[in-house]
Structure 1
Amino acid sequence: MKIMRSTFSRFSRLAMLISFLLFSLNGNSQPSVLWKFKSDTAVYSTAAIHQNLVYFGSGDHSFYALNKLSGKVQWKFKTKGAIHSDPLIHGNMVIFSSADGKVYALDHENGKLIWSFATKGEQQYDAWDYYLSSPVVADQMVYFGSGDSSIYAVDVASGKQHWSFKTGGIVHATPLIKDHKVLVGSYDGSFYALDSKSGTLIWKFKTVGDLYFPKGEIQKAAAATENAVLFGSRDFNIYSLSLKTGTGLWNRKESGSWIIAPPLLNHEHLFVGTSDTHRFYSMGSTYGDIKWILPLNMRVYGAAAFMDKELVFGCFNGRLYFVDPESGKVNATFQTEESKKRYSALFDEKDAVRKDIDPDGKNYLEVEKRILALGAILSTPIVDKDLVYFGDSNGYFYALKR
């Protein structure tokens, strides 16, 4: 018996070693934490990387610049509102929006203020309005939306206003600049194409709307191909419009779920996550035909990114997924420590939302707090070689090695 146990033990160790080697060769090794930084509250914005620093904003009203390899604070800048806008690096500046109603341009090396621009004020649409519009630059102009319902263009060097355009609702979507057009959606349910130089309206598209969400609010950024602009809406649709005319090319309805996440385009493919139906899709960008569906157990609000030959995206369940873009197979995941600790409070042994939990019920705000307590990942991962950076709803900012 001792000989048999010894032989079996050696065989088991050999089998485990072979399995581990095959696992590694297949590129399925799990990501590891390089460092972890704690801000005082939620990090919903997507980071930016420049040289040896990684930049991001937090709900604690601070904007941070950390060493990307050590996580050590290089500098931080305090505003009077939550910073749930993605930072933009341009020249010697890092530019971002704050819930105090201002857009700030700082020296990216030391965090000193270069200029600030005050809108007519910010506001939050509802409990799921997690983001601010992020600034983008083209032709020496900075473009961004605001809670005052306007889209702005200001001079990138001075911060002086060039033009503004008033929509019928809060604009927290990030503008997309393409073919001298500013392309952006509003909470009024309309998608706008404006002349980037003058701010005049070129075309406007109204979403279809739905019984419970008649406005068809547009919450986040769009993506564009050579001839089309694509975006999601709260009326459960993802839309593809002619870039030139704004007429519809196709739309696909995800019955029962908002489409908040901005689509990621790659050649003829579109990758996007859903809200309440808890899915991640690969579609054809030309016709919206479904290539594959990855079932999840929670929402996806952030966009996906490419990391080498994998898709990487975050989920409200506190997990980051690494997925084969051809098949939808999950190669690896990373789960926040808070998600591990609190997972059973929301999910059952089958990994489904517990039957006694109703995110849309009378106590929806309390349920939302419990979901966010998992360390929900609402930001889009930023990839730098074999490292990936992202923030979570508990205020942690991670650097993972893949």
Structure 2
Amino acid sequence: MAASLLLSACSGGLAASSWPGVTVAGDVAYVAYGSEIGAVNLSTGNLTWRYPEKVDARTTYYAAPQLDGTQLLVGDYANKLHSLDANTGTAQWAFEGAAGRYIAPVKILPDAILAANADHHLYVLDRQGQLRWKFETQQGVWAQPVTDENFIYLAGMDRQLYALPMAGGEPRWTKDLGGSVVYGLALDADGVLYVSTMAKEVIALRAENGQELWRFAAQGVIWARPVVKDGKVFVGDLTGKFYGIDAKNGQAVWSVDTGAPVIAAAGQTPENLVVVNEKGDVIFLTLDGSIVWTRTVNGKLYSSPAVGEKHIVVAALEGENLLVAFDFQGNQTWQFQFPKK
């Protein structure tokens, strides 16, 4: 499926079916999959609410829902960004100004919503869904933007990295990365951007001017967003390798072969990483690359695991259950599937 999605992306389309996206906030796991969005109690695995009341098969979801105070924001595979009441699942507003699919989760700022779309645009909205400005790229944007106080950093399938002023206008700088960016963009507290590309590289650049600091060559194509923690950059590739890279010089400190393609960014607990792969493995890793435990669920894991204070939630494609939850010791605590209506 990953290969077919890649080929369709290169030809300008997106042929894959919906993939589940999950986000944890407080004691709730929010999941979007197929034509439904649901809120699941994180302690019990019980469904709190589901949206919509009547399913429309023409509306499907891919991006993980994002919580903005009391509203839940999620884009669909048509052109609509939905705002739901996070407590009840009631529709509040919708932005329909895009022309393509939402692959990336929205980025929520104190006074704005950044919505990247496969129609080659970034849409900047106010918190009520009204368009402020938009920026056009040369190809679709699948990666969630990152920001600092003054700029929005946007990377897409056009191989370009853009530094956009918060108020809109021309980019402060643009960098040709040499490879398309699927999901991979991160920014650390020192103002360094880390970008993973389909050219099998992770690239570090200074956010202030786009100056390249280093490039790391992986064995395979990288879709996953890098995770930056404790002076290291962690990322997996489509060969199944998962790397720990020194953030200062771009040298590999260690690598682990997970045995199947790693599509998603790793989840983070306070002291560990949670890596998932295409064959359904959930791998709990220390920051030095030691495997603490591995569990395998039925299904393919293409979405990043969502981590709460005590729970790890993974969303499975083509499995017996949509969501499976574990504690930090690897014990399965519950499983969830949307009940049939």
TM-score range, shorter chain: 0.7 to 0.9
Q: Is 1:32 the equivalent of 2:47?
A: yes
- SS of 2:73's equivalent in the other structure is strand
Deviation at 1:95, TM superposition (A): 0.5
**Unaligned residue ranges in structure 2 (runs of 5+):** 1-41
Contact kept? 1:135, 1:174, Cα under 8 Å:
no
Aligned match of 2:107:
88
Match of 2:60 among 23, 42, 47: 42
Match of 2:201 among 159, 169, 190: 190
Match of 1:222 among 220, 226, 230: 226
Number of equivalent positions: 293
Amino acid aligned to 2:145: P
**Unaligned residue ranges in structure 1 (runs of 5+):** 1-26, 124-131, 209-215, 342-402
1:2-401 equivalences in 2 (<5 Å): 29-37=44-52, 38=55, 40-78=58-96, 79-109=98-128, 111-122=129-140, 132-178=142-188, 179-208=190-219, 216-255=220-259, 257-275=260-278, 277-286=279-288, 288-316=289-317, 317=319, 318-326=321-329, 328-337=330-339
Cα-Cα RMSD: 1.9
More strand by share: 2
Aligned match of 2:20:
none
Deviation at 1:69, TM superposition (A): 1.6
Alpha-carbon distance in structure 1 between the residues aligned to 2:51 and 2:84: 11
Alpha-carbon distance in structure 2 between the residues aligned to 1:228 and 1:186: 18
TM-score, normalised with respect to structure 2: 0.81
Change (3 A) 1:159 1:291: farther
- SS of 2:302's equivalent in the other structure is coil
Alpha-carbon distance in structure 2 between the residues aligned to 1:309 and 1:243: 28
- 1:287-332: CA deviation from partner (whole Å, max 9, x where unpaired): x111111112221121222233111121112511111112x11110
Amino acid aligned to 2:163: A
Alpha-carbon distance in structure 2 between the residues aligned to 1:28 and 1:107: 33
Alpha-carbon distance in structure 2 between the residues aligned to 1:193 and 1:296: 34
Deviation at 1:41, TM superposition (A): 2.8
Amino acid aligned to 1:155: P
More helix by share: 1
Amino acid aligned to 1:289: S
**Displaced runs of 4 or more, over 6 A:** none
Deviation at 1:159, TM superposition (A): 4.7
Deviation at 1:169, TM superposition (A): 2.0
Alpha-carbon distance in structure 2 between the residues aligned to 1:306 and 1:84: 21
Alpha-carbon distance in structure 1 between the residues aligned to 2:71 and 2:294: 36
TM-score, normalised with respect to structure 1: 0.69
Aligned match of 1:366:
none
Alpha-carbon distance in structure 2 between the residues aligned to 1:174 and 1:91: 23
- SS of 1:161's equivalent in the other structure is coil
Alpha-carbon distance in structure 2 between the residues aligned to 1:240 and 1:307: 23
Alpha-carbon distance in structure 2 between the residues aligned to 1:84 and 1:298: 21
Alpha-carbon distance in structure 2 between the residues aligned to 1:223 and 1:308: 19
Q: Which 10-residue stretch deviates more, 33-42 or 86-95? A: 33-42
Change (3 A) 1:252 1:314: same
- 1:55-102: CA deviation from partner (whole Å, max 9, x where unpaired): 111101111111112222211112110011111111321101111100
Alpha-carbon distance in structure 2 between the residues aligned to 1:190 and 1:307: 30
Alpha-carbon distance in structure 1 between the residues aligned to 2:309 and 2:270: 15
Alpha-carbon distance in structure 1 between the residues aligned to 2:114 and 2:79: 15
Alpha-carbon distance in structure 2 between the residues aligned to 1:225 and 1:207: 19
Q: Which 10-residue stretch deviates more, 305-314 or 187-196? A: 305-314
Contact kept? 1:31, 1:333, Cα under 8 Å:
no
